[in-house]
């Protein structure tokens, strides 16, 4: 039986690349979610019998419920949920616009959680399913001016690690993907930025001002990243974490090794607090 994939944020970037792969595969059905159906015209080139387009803004719970219901009505099942929809944000902590930060949390964290909650009852009934949550290399390490974005992705990591434990005995697998910088609109139209104006943060002004350049200059190939995600989601053993790219691997490893060293150096202090 063909597996049904529901992917959010399929208008561009990783979501579009992955949706294209799923649409090309004769053994899969695709439920492609985006805020505007016009952005999904590229899917008209594929077999319409295996594709359902749905309008889902992940900050709108009614659209989430309606989109998931439509997917189940059409294909009777959801086997793979890919929580891909997300936003970037570039600013120092002190100069960040908190309204924009709150909205980013609504998309990157709450929207992801609400999509998952809507799909979990179906996966529990099936006693099977794969949930893929798009995190970031910046949940493994951090960079200046990306603190609040990192905070959303650290939240996705903690959420996913907990969910993985809760559904492990239900036949449901949870994979967190941590891509390095890639040539997507994550740093373009899908992001906001505040160029530092406080003189003490002047060293970061150029990097924020030029952040849109990564749309074309970032090393990561979104099509290649989507191919790896598709392959790993269909593997006999699905990884809990999937860091992709040099920065995710080496940056994350260095950060984690530093954390291990620091924790071990505080052993006597830490253990002395127990009664």
Q: Which residues are catalytic?
A: 135, 149, 153
Query: From CA 43, how far away is CA 19, in angstroms rounded?
Result: 8
Pair of tokens at residue 144:
């200046």
- Specify the DSSP class assigned to residue 202: G
Beta carbons of 65 and 118 less than 8 angstroms apart: yes
Q: Are strands 51-55 and 129-134 parallel, antiparallel or unpaired?
A: unpaired
User: Is 263 exposed, middle or buried (CB count within 10 Å of its CB: 0-12, 13-18, 19+)?
Assistant: exposed
Query: From CA 108, how far away is CA 156, in angstroms rounded?
Result: 8
CA atoms within 13 A on the CB side of 136: 27
CA distances for 260 relative to 104, 157, 256, 265, 267, angstroms: 30, 18, 6, 9, 11
Query: From CA 268, how far away is CA 76, in angstroms rounded?
Result: 56
Please state the length of the chain. 275
CA distances for 199 relative to 15, 92, 146, 204, angstroms: 38, 12, 18, 10
Query: From CA 275, how far away is CA 262, in angstroms rounded?
Result: 23
């Amino acid at each position: 039986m063909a597996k049904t994939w529901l992917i959010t944020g399929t208008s561009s970037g990783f979501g579009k690349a992955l949706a294209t792969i799923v649409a090309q595969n004769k053994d899969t059905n695709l439920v492609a979610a985006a805020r505007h159906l016009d952005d999904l015209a590229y899917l008209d080139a594929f077999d319409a019998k295996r594709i359902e387009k749905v309008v889902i803004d992940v900050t709108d719970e009614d659209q989430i419920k309606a989109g998931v219901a439509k997917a189940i009505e059409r294909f009777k099942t959801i086997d793979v949920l890919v929580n891909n929809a997300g936003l970037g944000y570039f600013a120092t902590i002190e100069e960040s616009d908190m309204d924009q930060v709150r909205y980013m949390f609504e998309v990157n964290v709450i929207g992801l959680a609400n999509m998952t909650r809507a799909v979990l009852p179906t996966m529990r009934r099936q006693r099977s399913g794969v949930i893929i949550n798009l995190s970031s290399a910046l949940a493994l390490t951090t960079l200046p001016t990306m603190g609040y974005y990192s905070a959303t992705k650290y939240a996705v990591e903690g959420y996913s690690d907990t969910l993985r434990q809760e559904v492990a005995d239900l036949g449901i697998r949870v994979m967190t993907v941590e891509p390095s910088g890639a040539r997507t609109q994550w740093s373009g139209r899908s992001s906001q930025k505040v160029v530092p104006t406080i003189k003490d943060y002047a060293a970061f002004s150029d990097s924020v001002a030029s952040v849109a350049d990564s749309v074309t200059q970032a090393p990561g190939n979104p099509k290649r990243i989507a191919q790896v995600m598709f392959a790993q989601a269909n593997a006999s053993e699905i990884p809990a974490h999937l860091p992709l790219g040099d920065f995710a691997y080496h940056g994350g490893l260095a950060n984690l090794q530093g954390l291990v060293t620091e924790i071990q150096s505080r052993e006597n202090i830490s253990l002395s607090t127990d009664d």
